[in-house]
Amino acid sequence: MIRHDPLMLRVSRIESLSPTLRRIILKSANGEPLPVAGPGAHLSLTLASPKKVYRNSYSVVSFSGDHYELIVRRVEDSRGGSAFVHENLKEGDLLPSTVPLNLFPIQVGSRKRLLIGGGIGVTPLLSFAKVLQESGDRFEMHQFVREDEKEVFENLVQGVGSKNIHIHTRRPKDGEIQALLEEQPLGTSIYMCGPDGLMAAVDEAAEALGWPENHVHREVFGAAGGKPFKAKLAKSGCELEVGENQSLLEAIEEAGVPINSLCRGGACGECMTSLLEGDPEHRDHFLNKEEKESGKLIMPCVSRAKSAQLVLDI
């Protein structure tokens, strides 16, 4: 079963920030107080189109007590969710949602926070920057964006009012991330969200410099696309075809087989499933190296198959 807490939201306002970015303001549909969304929290929304129901997670950029603010990018190769938000969502629409979930909170006790983002990965980092600025905590933020979106992102961070925010209109140069980490004082924690390549570069630099793993944090809403493959559900007796623009989790759900899920991005571990046969392509950030190498577990929300078929113990 998918865990959706009883929260119904109404689209109060939609604002176009750029051809590919929309700001969405969500309020309570029944006028009741909204659950608090702390920095790093996200909502998992149910988006119902005439053809399909999408369940997408979006970071809460800000929470003011009576509304949640989201910013959604129209992804070029969208599997449906972001396209729905940009093409079909209207002011006044009702959206079922989970309560705010937080797998990416600000950890206490850090001497400094280093925020590194790319593109729409700015959304959780904006919530961090606002709180850190208000509290007077030490932080530094580096955001990498396309040249044509520089002004948009400058406007997004303008409200934070911090001189510690740097907008880069290019990809990081070789060695630049490592040099940035070398400049940080002991006790600094990293928080990152963005393209896989950017986060991999941060991970590699942190590992090379000996940073403690518990000082490196990331927010991931993983992509599920890839080559089609087959999946057999041993206990349920189902055989599934997983399409190139479909996640294994979505295929299981569409077959009507109960399975837990929460973040839908490979970070929380809620959908972790035993794997009986097949060679998985791990894309999650939950299983450790040994667990992945064992080939006995898989996160269906983001991971796929290297082999023609996977056999799951469900």
Residue-level pLDDT at 52: 82
- Rounded CA-CA distance 272/180 in Å is 35
Per residue in 90-108, pLDDT (tens digit) is 999 999 999 999 989 999 9
CA 11 from chain centre, in angstroms, equals 21
pLDDT of residue 262: 82
**CA dist., res. 173 & res. 178, Å (int):** 10
In this structure, are residues 140 and 164 in contact, taking their beta carbons and an 8 Å threshold?
yes
pLDDT at res. 285: 83
| % of the chain exceeding 90 in pLDDT | 75
Name the band, by pLDDT with cuts 50, 70 and 90, for residue 268. confident
Query: What is 229-312's CATH superfamily?
Result: Beta-grasp domain (3.10.20.30)
pLDDT of residue 215: 96
Per-residue pLDDT for 299 more than 70? yes
How confident is residue 226, by pLDDT bands cut at 50, 70 and 90? confident
DSSP state, residue 101: B
- What does the pLDDT read at residue 302? 92
CATH 3.40.50.80 fits 112-218, yes or no: yes
Rounded Cα–Cα distance for residues 226 and 244 (Å): 5
The pLDDT assigned to 56 comes to 87
pLDDT value at 4 more than 80 = no
Q: Yes or no: say if 89 and 11 are a contact pair by the CB < 8 Å rule.
A: yes
The answer regarding whether domain 7-97 maps to CATH 2.40.30.10 reads: yes
Average pLDDT, the chain: 91
| Helices 122-135 and 150-158, packing angle to 10 deg | 30
Alpha-carbon 155 to chain mean position: 22
| pLDDT of residue 6 exceeding 90 | no
**Domain locations along the chain:** 7-97, 112-218, 229-312
